[in-house]
Amino acid sequence: MIKIAPSILSADFAALGHDIARVEAGGADQLHVDVMDGRFVPNITIGPVVVAAIRKRTRLPLDVHLMIVEPERYIPEFVAAGADMVTVHAEACPHLQRTLAQIRELGARGGVALNPSTPPDALEYVLDDLDLVLVMSVNPGFGGQAFIPSTHRKIRDIRALLGDRHRRVDVSVDGGVKADLAKALANDGASTLVAGSAIFGAADPAAAVRAIRDAATAR
């Protein structure tokens, strides 16, 4: 079963509770929350207070994507605010194994995000320490960018690296995901599709969630 994770980056931040209710009604499986610091990526978004506010409005699992340097400084605050999953970037973590252990010790699920140019090998020695891999299909920082086609091969390579022993690890794809890519991404081995502009940019975000799921599961 493929999971659909609307990215609130493309929601209306002045009407966030309303937008979240719409995707919840559409059957979203989890919410993807993009945290940016203006250092790891050239954009600034939100912090733990917003995650805590979202936590009060929804029962959906919160998948917090940290696009920040030194994420280990802020992970406890994000988990305390209600993050169920915390994903850090391999490129931002010189002590990646320690950072993943920190996330699990706090009771959350730990994920590693890879920029488009970062090879899957970065994961090889932390396979026992992670619960999800977030494959970036755009260079992180902004919503609404075009999907990078080499992502297809990368998802297949990551699935091969995970093998049977780590088949429960979630492989999530983030950036430029639209309904017309959903089937191919599911076939590549993706288990979660993150989509921002394709969902919140649509006139009916609930219908957009259903359209992505239908496309992913179509025969």
Q: Which residues would be at the binding site for Zn ion (CB under 5 A)?
A: 34, 65, 174
* Of 176, 182, 186, 188, the one binding ligand DX5 by CB under 6 A: 176
Determine the size of the site formed for ligand DX5 (CB under 6 A).
Answer: 22
* Of 86, 135, 155, 194, the one binding ligand DX5 by CB under 6 A: 194
Question: What's at 213, amino acid-wise?
Answer: R
* Of 16, 76, 141, 157, the one binding ligand DX5 by CB under 6 A: 141
User: Of ligand DX5, Zn ion, none, which one does residue 196 interact with (CB within 5 to 8 Å by kind)?
Assistant: ligand DX5
User: Closer to ligand DX5 at the Cβ: 105 or 195?
Assistant: 195
Query: Any contact of residue 7 with ligand DX5 (CB under 6 A)?
Result: yes
Torsion, Cα 122 198 33 185, to 10 degrees, reads -30
* Of 20, 198, 202, 208, the one binding ligand DX5 by CB under 6 A: 198
In whole angstroms, give the CA distance from residue 118 to residue 74. Answer: 24
| Cβ proximity of 101 and 128 under 8 Å | no
* Of 175, 179, 188, 205, the one binding ligand DX5 by CB under 6 A: 175
Tokens for 154, please give them. 């990368």
| Cβ proximity of 190 and 183 under 8 Å | no
Strand partners, 4: 193
| Cβ proximity of 138 and 147 under 8 Å | yes
- CB under 6 A: which stretch of 6-14, 22-30, 103-111, 117-125 binds ligand DX5? 6-14
Q: Mark whether 170 is an active-site residue.
A: no
Place of tokens 């805590």: 52
Minimum CB separation from ligand DX5 for residue 80, in Å? Answer: 22
H/E/C letters for each residue in 27-56? CCCCEEEEEEECCCCCCECCCHHHHHHHHH
User: Closer to Zn ion at the Cβ: 65 or 159?
Assistant: 65
216-190-44 Cα angle (round to 5):
105
In whole angstroms, give the CA distance from residue 55 to residue 59. Answer: 7
Residue 101: HSE in the Cβ half-sphere, 13 Å Cα cutoff? 5
User: Of Zn ion, ligand DX5, none, which one does residue 52 interact with (CB within 5 to 8 Å by kind)?
Assistant: none
Question: Taking CB under 6 A as the criterion, which residues in 35-74 touch ligand DX5?
Answer: 65
Query: Any contact of residue 89 with ligand DX5 (CB under 6 A)?
Result: no
- Interface with ligand DX5 (CB under 6 A): 7, 9-10, 32, 34, 65, 138, 140-145, 174-177, 194-198
